Amino acid sequence: MREELNFNRAAERLHITQPALSRQIQQLEGSIPAVLFERSSKRVDLTEAGRNFYHHALRIVSELQAAARESRLLSQGQQGTLAIGIFGSSILDLVPQVLKQFSARYPDVNVALHPMDKDMQIQALRERRLTVGFNRLVPAEPDIEQEYVRTEPLMVAMADTHPLADAASIRMEEILQQPLILYPRGVRRSLVMQVFKLFDEYNATPVVAQEVTDVTTAVALVAGGLGITILPRAASNLRLPGVIYKPLISRGAAINSSIELICMYRRGDTSPILNGFLQILRTFSDK
C-alpha cells in the first residue's frame, strides 16, 4: 500500500478486492491502535506513525526472508559449522584431502579444526563442541559411533646418513638396539602400544633416546641425528631436510605393524552437515 498510495492499485497488486483491503487496514489500525493513513477524496498518504510502521515492516520482512534462507541452507547442510577434532598424523594426509572436497561442495559451511587427544575428543563430542573426531585405537563408548577409515602401515623415519638409509625397507630386528624417539605412554599411548607390541614379538625393549609430545618434534629430532622413530605412513608427508622414511617389516602379526584410523561422531546424530562430511569421507576409505 505504501508503494502504491492508491487503494485500487494496491488491491490489484495483492489480488484482493478494494473493500477487503480497506477492512484489513482498518483492522490493523484498530489493533495498534494508530492512524496509519491520511485519506482524502483525491489521495492517500502515510501519517508519521504510518511511515514509522512501514519502515519497521520492511525490516521485519527482510529479516524473515533471511531467516528462511538460513534455515533452508541449514536443513540442507549448506550452512553451519563443521568442528573437527584432530590428533597425530591424520592432519598430514587424510583430513586435508577430505576437507578440500568438502569445502568445494559446501563453501558456506565454516570448518574449524581443534587439536585434541582421544579423551578430549570423546568429551567434546558428548558436549556437542565437536562434530567429528579422528584418532586411533579408540575405546568402545555406548554413545560414540566409530567409523573405520583406513589402515596405515608403520614406517621408520631416519636420517639420510643412517647406515640403513639405502635399504628399500627396514626389518624390525635391524633396529631393536637403535636409539628410539618415542611418545610418552600417557600422551601417545595408541602408537606407543603398537611400538611396544612390535618389540614384544622379539622379546626386546625399546631403547628410548627421547620422549616427545608430537610427530613434528619427533621428525625434527630425527633430522638432528638423535635417533629414529616409528610412525604411521601419513606422517611421511612431513618433509624435513635430511629425513627419509622406510617401510617397516615385522616377522610377527601384521596388525602390529599397522595402525587404524577411526572417525568418531555422536551416535544418532542426524546433522545434515555430518552426513555430507561422512559421504565424502567414505570415498577415501579403504574398506
pLDDT digits (tens, 9 = 90+) for 209-243: 999 988 889 999 999 999 999 999 999 999 999 99
pLDDT above 70: residue 146? yes
pLDDT bin (cut points 50, 70, 90) of residue 46 is: confident
What residues form DSSP beta bridges with 205? Answer: none
Number of CB atoms found within 10 A of residue 190's CB: 18
For range 265-277, the mean pLDDT? 95
Q: What is the average pLDDT score of the chain?
A: 85
pLDDT above 70: residue 138? yes
Q: In the structure grid, which three cell numbers stand for residue 179, read together?
A: 636409539
Ranking 119-133, 215-229, 241-255 by mean pLDDT, the lowest is: 241-255
Ranking 20-34, 109-123, 214-228, 236-250 by mean pLDDT, the lowest is: 20-34
pLDDT bin (cut points 50, 70, 90) of residue 87 is: confident
Give dist(CA 252, CA 259) in Å, integer.
Answer: 14
Give dist(CA 24, CA 36) in Å, integer.
Answer: 12
Q: In the structure grid, which three cell numbers stand for residue 63, read together?
A: 529479516
For range 7-25, the mean pLDDT? 69
What residues form DSSP beta bridges with 261? Answer: 150
Among 79, 53, 54, 77, smallest CA distance to 66 is for 79
- Residues in the chain, total: 287
Tell me if 280 sits within 8 A of 102, measured CB to CB: yes
What residues form DSSP beta bridges with 132? Answer: 84
| Cβ-proximal residues to 133 (8 Å cutoff; 6+ apart), any chain | 84, 85, 86, 87, 116, 121, 122, 124, 125, 263, 264, 265
Give dist(CA 85, CA 64) in Å, integer.
Answer: 34
pLDDT bin (cut points 50, 70, 90) of residue 139 is: confident
Examine residue 247 and say whether the peptide bond preceding it is cis (omega within 30 degrees of 0): no
For range 20-39, the mean pLDDT? 78
Domains of the chain are 7-75 (1.10.10.10), 82-287 (3.40.190.290)
Can you list the alpha helix ranges (DSSP code H) found in 94-213? 94-105, 118-126, 189-200
Determine the pLDDT at residue 1: 45
- Which of helix, strand or coil describes residue 259? strand
Determine the pLDDT at residue 188: 45
Tell me if 281 sits within 8 A of 158, measured CB to CB: no
Give dist(CA 25, CA 12) in Å, integer.
Answer: 15
The model's pTM is 0.69
Question: Whose grid coordinates read 546433522?
Answer: 271
Cα–Cα–Cα angle for 113, 114, 120, rounded to 5 degrees:
145
Q: Where are the beta strands (DSSP E) in the chain?
A: 37-39, 44-46, 80-86, 109-115, 132-135, 144-159, 170-171, 179-182, 207-211, 229-232, 243-249, 258-266
Do the bridges between strand 144-159 and strand 258-266 make them parallel or antiparallel, or are there none, so unpaired? Answer: antiparallel
How large a percentage of the chain has pLDDT more than 90?
A: 54
Give dist(CA 232, CA 191) in Å, integer.
Answer: 8
